[in-house]
Amino acid sequence: MGSWDALLSGKVAIVTGGSRGIGRQDALALAEAGADVVITDILLESDEGSAQAAQQYGPLEQVMVSGKVVYAEKTAKEIEAMGRRALAIKMDVTDREQIAETFRLVEAQFGHIDILVNNAGMLDHVAQIEQQNDAFWERDLKVNLTGTYNCTKAVWPYMRQQGWGRIINMSSVAGTLGGFGQASYSATKGGILSFTKSMALEGARLGINVNAIVPGIIATEAWKMGNPKMNERMVQRTAFHRPGDPEDVANAIVFLCSEKAKYITGVGLPVSGGIELFTF
């Protein structure tokens, strides 16, 4: 059956939105399983333009920059300390030319691209429909849904040529259950699930498996900054009555990227603590 410690030995992974939270943990877990990892994000610790990028994309990104909750380059160094190759690159998933340039760079430096984790996303737009910010609606569509499309389309030729690939798209229980005051976020996360199924059908004959993760309440830095009373209400809805850890999502991703999941494609795997169950 092989060792779980070397599940992804020799593979090269790209994780978008990897500067913190789930994306950061995804990158670390993939490296622990043997992969070399490229972390992309609009925010890098050493980039003087991060504040401007944060200003462009909204309040949550601004808080992360001002609070120095940006760990893309730090994560790359941690991966290198494991004996893997790693790189942190500034990349905007809404910029198709920048994506193409980044993927060409990765292939040139690492030789191939085997795994893509479409993790980059925005989740700070919370308002009922009459107060929904039209600009944030467009932003969420552009980053969450079209960003996933952009990166998938860009990586597809690399995976098709080698006859092997794994793409993991990040959805949410908001995309399966809906979210009060989360029209834009829920719509994009639901769209990602349909996109995943379509890509799974196209990829099946090419050796490309495409799956989605459907996280529930995960204790990331952003979640911990939320309203404590609201957080507690959400946690109490889960079967476990506790939030998940970023590692819970990352472990599922490692499995889906491995040969142990070679006959799994087109699924939306809940990592949700049973939040979609009838709990009381």
Residue matched to tokens 């925005």: 122
Task: Report the 10 Å Cβ neighbour count for 135.
Answer: 10
Rounded-to-integer distance, Cα 186 and Cα 190, Å: 6
Enumerate the active-site residues: 185
What average pLDDT does the segment 184-191 reach? 97
pLDDT tens-digit map of 77-109: 999 999 999 999 999 999 999 999 999 999 999
Q: Where are the domains of the chain?
A: 4-271
Residue 279 has pLDDT above 90, yes or no: no
Supply the CATH classification number for the domain 4-271.
3.40.50.720
Q: How many of the other CB atoms lie within 10 Å of CB of 92? A: 21
Number of H helices, E strands in the chain: 12, 7
Q: What pLDDT, on a 0 to 100 scale, did the predictor assign at position 108?
A: 98
